[in-house]
Structure 1
Amino acid sequence: GTFRKIQVIRNNKVVSTVDVYDLLLNGIQKGNIRLQDQDVINIPVYQSRVEVAGEVKRPALFEVLSGENLSDVIRFAGGFSNQAYTAQIKVLQNTNKERSITDVPAESFNTYGPLNGDKYVVEKILDRFANRVEISGAVFRPGEFELDKGLTLKGLIAKADGLTEDAFLNRGYINRLNADNTASLISFDVAKIIAGTEPDINLQREDKVTISSLFDLRDEYKVSIQGEVRQPGTFEFGESMSLEDLIQMAGGFKEGATPNRIEISRRVKNSDALSKSAKTAELFTVDVDQNLKLQGDTFKLQPFDIVSIRNSTGYEVQRQVKVEGEVLYPGVYTITSKD
């Protein structure tokens, strides 16, 4: 039945025609007269009905009257969603023999007359950017930026608030998408681009600039400590870090630890790989103050050092045994000597 031409018949005459869309869409009760005894409400069949699908706020079936256009149908559907492709709408139509498809541009929305059985498909906008460039790595504000007209590499670095202190200045690179959709890599000298001694590079859409950090190009510097300390483990290395500093970070000595003959194992970088007797590690044996006082020269650690703290000579933890059963004094007894 129709929603658009509901008739109130009184004494065999149509006294009012109600369009429910006025109430549903606009809240207007036009033609809503008071009913009387013997009135007849007649609901004819619809004349034209279309479907709206895709990126609209109310996708549904809608009834269309003569004289209404595609803009009216879009209004019935609540308008476009925020992801709608509004430049044109696809129309799927029924002909006498088969179905056909028509593209209706935005400038024809007010003149295109809907036909019975039309299906209007509003598609999403493309998941791409017309003017995007991206910079990542050792800049203060990495991310995506607008590709202004004439934007260069140096200008993009300035948009990202410049380089951080740990930027690797010898080399950076640009990932670029070619016209045939293949990728290319463009390398540049970061320091020379910033100084202006090397020609600047004009950026293109979807360029991705990467400036590495010094920390990205080397292993993370760590030192390790094991043995008789309260919190053995691995710690971050710092410049001028001493043996006593690492022992303090590890919670200090345990009760049975000795501050003497502390062993430090250090990596060997320039060993002869072909020699059977080549060194694989360098060992140092160091004594420190029991209370970790600052005094004189201290042993300086290097990245990847491994520190071993040993037990004091003759230090023993009490050992006990438990006696149960048919004895006069069952209980726990301490062993007082090794024999």
Structure 2
Amino acid sequence: MYKFSFIFSLISFLSFAQNPLDQAKNLGIRSESDLKKFGVSQSEIDRAKAEMLNTNSTQVDDKTTKKISSTSDKKLVKKQVIKSPELIKPIKKPEVFGQEYFNSGYFTLKENSFRMNPPGNYLLGPGDNISITIWGQSEFSNEFTLDEFGNITPKIVGRINLRGLTFSEAKQVIKSRFSKIYNLKSSKISINLTYSKIISINIVGEVKKPGTYSVPGINSAFNLLSLAGGVTKLGTVRSIEIRRENKVVQLLDLYKFILNPSEFSDVFLQDGDYIVVKTQGGVVDVKGEVKRPGKFEINDHDKLADIIKIAGGFSVYANKESINIKRIVGNKWVFERYKLNTPEYNNLIIGNGDQIKVLKISSIVYGLVKITGAINVEGEYPFKEGMKVNDLIKLAGNLNNHSYLEHAQLIRTNNDLSLSSRTIDIKEAVNNPNSNANLVLKENDSIIIFDKTKLNFENQVTARGALRKTGTTLFAEGLTIKDVILKFGGFKMEADFDKIEVERVLYAKKDSNNSYIQIINLSFPKDQDFLLAPNDIVNFRSLPRFVGQKSVVITGEVKHPGKYTLNGSNEKITEVIQRAGGITSWAFLEGAQLKRNQDSLGLILMNLNHALKNPKSKYNYYLNPGDSISIPKSSNIVSISGAIGYKNVNPNNNTISSPYNRNHRAGYYVKKYGGGYSKEAKKRSVYVVGSNGIVKESKFYGLLRPKVKSGDKIIVQSKIKRTEREKGKKVDWNSVIENVTIKATAILTLLVLTQQAFN
């Protein structure tokens, strides 16, 4: 128990110290082996450290120290490694290529796990765990921890010193020693690293989170830089120093690793090593046709070819004879141009601030000829010296039925890139290959074969009027009136078969442009076989004043409500009501309505009672298609709304209904059923709206209210409220007096002038 208290107190002291590594070294403690000198067992060390991790896990400062336990508890080690939430943040585009590798997840911290697979050059040291297993004729299995001197001591075999050996060298030494005791010829041996020693590495310079990090020794410098958040914008990625005992033991160049990761040789870190990230060297900007354009860090000896290689090499479209560089020479920018594989290109040393741009090759395609239009297989074909028009036509599958043989067009690209055009007699070139029409082609020539079906735009016939469809159709010899009727879906119902007109263009002379229109009158089916000519316009006329089935709707209190087709254009309301069986005994004639959609007229005022008594009444309207007649059921209800007292009782509803009382005016209903007039009521403006839409207003300044009938609506208008501006507006009496004075002076002056005129 005393030992456990001692190690717990010791670890507590080191955890709260500003620099725990220095404090531990001052006490002479550099490893677990040093603790064991004090008589502390491995199990007691594990217990104490586990206790410390559970109690002080919240006091770990990520900005200064990342500590990973050297306990054999693998789960505890994994728990401590998973830190650094920066790894899941969105990665910003770096200023210089390579800086993003340390915070993009490319390098991740390697954790201690059972049966690791370290590289052959991994250096063994105190704290490493090695498992040795033999199976076959001989059997052996055990795990060993290298002590402070780098020794393991298997039973029977004896002490084996592995300190400073690589993992590959250590395996050979172990096999050699075990072969003296065990029969390895008839057995197999497996040697694995099961736990990597914990080392403390100091990271300084241009990194985002400098400090001291305790990690498994199997990690490389790149893994540690990832744990430290990566380099800053100013940090180098090409000259990262590994310092040991104040000496640089290795310079790391990330670009070499990226370009040849399999050939990259990395020195494993040792306890107390320093990773120093200095400020970056020169930077160049590479643009244009490279696979990885961007900004790149350079060394003093980098050449142009090296930078192109780092940028991924040339793209497919790169013009390798036009590599442009802008660089500062003295106090001015200088432009230079280089070609690939020339001495100047191969030997050019790149300087800080250089701007490199690889231009793109021309988009002009050479070594071809082209043919388009009325040809079987139009497109581009390889050019051969001496090939002619007929040769290209054969390559394109020959002419087709649409080819216009009298005229084709050859377009040629001249040396100055201008275009010239030439006419070809295709018929002569094909029929007589030895003729002058069969021209010799040049590179990038283009031939256009015209389509004769598209040249004669006037060969069509137009149909208009009373057909189900109208439009134009291509003219063909033998086209008749019947063909056009069938083509456009046949006649409409209103078509007049005896009134078909054909408008035809006739030319006075064959070689003259003078023309006139001839009208040809036809009938169907008598002239159904009449032959049409190009550009004829056929008009199919409609029967005069023809009206198809046009209907109105009647709803409500008639014996047979529904749709009724109008019998001509002079049918009236009463006639349709009579066809509907007449009105029922419940019909409320005063509330009948007529709505008309035509011309957006809407509600039309009517008096159906008057119309039924007198068919010649002005309210007996002629009906139009789409009209709607509504005859409501008798109602003994009167509704009252607007500025009435009822609103004060029920603010959410200003309408109330009451029973109908004969021979009473609107004021009676307002006072008896509506709670009287409200304060906002404009008593002069009381309206009564009948069920048929007729509006009646008060007369004699509101003293005589309109009479009310069954089903009417009483509306009491509210006073118009003055705006706050009108209420608060003050009278400008100076302006009023001034205006009155001016007008009075004008009147007096006029009177004086009048008197003088008559005197």
Shorter-normalised TM-score: what interval? Answer: 0.7 to 0.9
Q: Which residue of 528, 533, 540 corresponds with 1:309?
A: 540
Determine if the alignment matches structure 1 residue 115 to structure 2 residue 346: no
Partner of 2:494, secondary structure, is coil
Q: How does 1:216-255 map to 2 (within 5 A)?
A: 216-255=454-493
Secondary structure of 2:362 counterpart: coil
Shift of 1:223: 1.3
Give the match for residue 260 of structure 1: 498
8 Å Cα contact 1:16/1:33 also seen in 2: no
For residues 329 and 541 of structure 2, the distance between their equivalents in structure 1, rounded to whole angstroms, comes to 93
**Residues 49 and 332 (structure 1 numbering): CA distance in 2 closer, same or farther, change over 3 Å?**
same
Work out the CA distance in 2 between the residues paired with 1:116 and 1:61: 13
Per-residue CA deviation, residues 202-239 of structure 1 (Å, 9 max, x unaligned), is 21233221221213332152211222222223233333
| Structure 1 residues 4-44: Cα deviation after superposition (integer angstroms, max 9, x where no partner) | 2211111111122211113344445632523523x222233
Letter in 2 for 1:9: R
Q: 2:382 aligns with which of 128, 142, 146?
A: 146
8 Å Cα contact 2:369/2:443 also seen in 1: yes
Distance in 1 separating the partners of 2:545 and 2:356: 91
**Are residue 173 (structure 1) and residue 423 (structure 2) matched?**
no
Deviation per CA, 1:28-67: give whole Å up to 9, x if none.
5632523523x22223344544331111121122233455
Contact 1:175 1:208 in 2 (8 A): yes
How far apart, CA to CA, are the structure 1 residues paired with 2:252 and 2:500? 98
- Contact between 1:229 and 1:253, CA under 8 Å: does it hold in 2? yes
Q: Of the candidates 61, 65, 71, which is equivalent to residue 295 of structure 2?
A: 61
Which of 257, 282, 285 aligns to 1:51? It is 285
Q: Is the 8 A contact 2:240 2:252 kept in 1?
A: yes
Deviation at 1:186, TM superposition (A): 1.9
| Structure 2 equivalent of residue 125 of structure 1 | 361
1:327 aligns with 2:327: no
**Paired AA for residue 53 in structure 1:** K
Contact 1:229 / 1:257 at 8 angstroms: preserved in 2? Answer: yes
Relative to the length of structure 2, the TM-score reads: 0.39
Residue 524 of structure 2, aligned match among 283, 288, 301? 288
Instruction: Determine if contact 2:411/2:419 at 8 Å carries over to the other structure.
Output: yes
Question: Aligned pair 1:189/2:189, yes or no?
Answer: no
User: How far off its partner does 1:197 sit?
Assistant: 4.9
Q: Does residue 158 in structure 1 map to residue 394 in structure 2?
A: yes
Q: CA deviation at 1:165?
A: 0.9
Q: Which has the higher contact order (CA 8 A, sep 6+)?
A: 1
Q: What's the Cα RMSD here?
A: 3.1
Looking at structure 1, the residues matched to 510 and 449 of structure 2 have their Cα atoms a distance apart, in angstroms, of 35
Equivalent residue of 1:157, what SS? Answer: helix
Cross-structure match for 2:531: 300
Indicate the residue corresponding to 2:669 in structure 1: none
CA 1:174–1:81 in structure 2 vs 1: closer, same or farther (change >3 Å)?
Answer: same
1:198 matched residue in structure 2: 435
The structural deviation recorded for 1:169 is 0.9
Inter-partner Cα distance in structure 2 for 1:227 and 1:221: 21
Asked if 1:13 is matched to 2:231, the reply is no
| Residue from 18, 23, 31 that aligns with 2:266 | 31
Instruction: Say yes or no: does 1:211 pair with 2:445.
Output: no
**In the superposition, relative to structure 1, how do residues 77 and 282 fare at CA in structure 2: closer, same or farther (>3 Å)?**
same
Aligned equivalents of 1:108, 1:298: Cα separation in 2: 84
User: 2-side partners of 1:161 and 1:35: how far apart?
Assistant: 76
Separation in structure 2 between the aligned mates of residue 224 and residue 322 of structure 1, nearest angstrom: 42
Larger gyration radius, structure 1 or structure 2: 2
Cα distance in 1 for partners of 2:419, 2:368 equals 16
Q: Distance in 1 between matches of 2:355 and 2:546?
A: 90
Matched position secondary structure for 2:346: coil
User: In structure 2, do the counterparts of structure 1 residues 147 and 77 end up closer, same or farther at CA, with 3 Å as the change threshold?
Assistant: same
**Which residue of 2 is the match for residue 293 of structure 1?**
none
Q: What amino acid sits opposite 1:55 in the alignment? A: E
CA distance in 2 between counterparts of 1:334 and 1:67 reads: 101
Answer yes or no: is the 8 Å Cα contact 1:47–1:116 preserved in 2.
Answer: no
What SS is found at the alignment partner of 2:391?
helix
In structure 1, C-alpha distance between the alignment counterparts of 2:299 and 2:315, rounded to whole Å:
24
For 1:233 and 1:55, locate their aligned partners in 2 and report how far apart those are by CA, in whole Å.
Answer: 55
Distance apart, 1:245 and its partner CA: 1.0
Deviations 1:269-307 (A, max 9, x none): 236999xxx8611222223229xxxxx981111221111
Give, as a single letter, the amino acid of the residue that structure 2 aligns with 1:219: F
Q: Which has the higher helix share?
A: 2
Residue 269 (structure 1) aligned to one of 507, 510, 520: 507
Query: Does the Cα contact within 8 Å between 2:302 and 2:350 map onto a contact in 1?
Result: no
Residue 319 of structure 1 deviates from its aligned partner by 2.0
Letter in 2 for 1:74: I
1:6–1:315 Cα change, 3 Å: closer
Secondary structure class of the residue paired with 1:215: helix
Partner Cα separation in structure 2 for residue 54 and residue 31 of structure 1: 34
Give me the whole-angstrom Cα distance separating, in 1, the residues matched to 2:389 and 2:253.
61
- What code does the residue aligned with 1:160 have? A
Give the TM-score normalised by structure 1: 0.83
Given that 1:320 and 1:332 are in contact with CA atoms closer than 8 Å, whether structure 2 keeps it comes out as: no
Q: Secondary structure at the match of 1:298?
A: coil
Q: What is the alpha-carbon distance in structure 1 between the residues aligned to residue 528 and residue 464 of structure 2?
A: 23
1:231 is matched by which residue type in structure 2? K
Give the distance between the partners of 2:391 and 2:445, measured in 1 at CA.
Answer: 13
C-alpha separation in 1, matches of 2:292 and 2:244: 36
Unaligned runs of 5+ in 2: 1-234, 549-567, 574-593, 595-605, 613-618, 625-759
* Equivalent of 1:3 in 237, 250, 266: 237
Report what 2:370 is aligned to.
134
**SS at 2:463's partner residue?**
strand
Could you say what secondary structure the match of 2:248 adopts?
strand
Q: Alpha carbons of 1:231 and 1:63: their partners in 2 closer, same or farther (altered >3 Å)?
A: same
SS at 1:209 equivalent:
strand
Per the TM alignment, residue 331 of structure 1 is displaced from its structure 2 partner at its CA by 8.5
8 Å Cα contact 1:18/1:32 also seen in 2: no
